[in-house]
Amino acid sequence: MFFGSENKKLLVFGDGTLSEMSAYLFKADVNVFAHVVDSKYKQKETLNNTPVLELESLFDYVSNQSAQVILPLGYTNINGVRENKFKYFNELGIEIASFIHASSTVWDDFKCQKNVIIYEQVIIQPFVQVGENTLIRAGANLGHHTVIGKNCFIASQVVTGGNVTIKERCFIGLGATIRDGITIAERCFIGAGAVVVGDTEAGGVYLGNPAKKITKTSAQVTNII
């Protein structure tokens, strides 16, 4: 399900593998006009027969009133890169779209914020809230009354119990489990397969079962993400 404007040209930010895969999913619901990248990162002229435009010359092709954008970017700098691009397009006045894959389960009370991208076979139980600019990858299961802050990345097969709080700019790794009632503080990095059984500290990196905090901070592990 695509949340945007039918009469505006859809731009997908990025030409890497996550953007490529995401655009493939979007095309089931909406036409993708172009990929957009910063000129210094441009890798190709087209991607799966879709043009790749340079951000610096974007307005040669569209106006801020004729375009909409979606940003399927990863978690580099603990989601900071995606946060900055979200702010950039917001300030330009370009509409920011959202997407929920048709195979996912969401309830009638769910409100989809800007640049929320929910991939295949995600289960979102009643009364869950997801902040803007957050990606939820395939197969995640979010328990009732869970609250996820803005600018987060929830990897595939993550499971949360009920009443979990995940604050801004967190990364929750592949297959991690967060027990009911737990609060994940802002900018945390939860490693793949971790089982979180207690509240975390801001900027912490937690690995293992049960999850333990290591000495490095989430800012320091940027080089491995």
Q: How far apart are CA 138 and CA 155, in angstroms?
A: 7
Q: Does 181 show up as a binding residue in the annotation? A: no
Given strand 50-54, what is the order of strands in its sheet? Answer: 46-47, 50-54, 32-37, 9-13, 67-70, 95-96
Q: Return the residue matching tokens 């950039």.
A: 88
In the DSSP assignment, the letter for residue 132 is S
**Alpha-carbon span 216 to 187, nearest angstrom:** 13
Q: What is the DSSP letter of 68?
A: E
DSSP states of 181-193 as a string? T-EE-TT-EE-TT
Positions at the binding site for substrate: 74
Positions at the binding site: 74
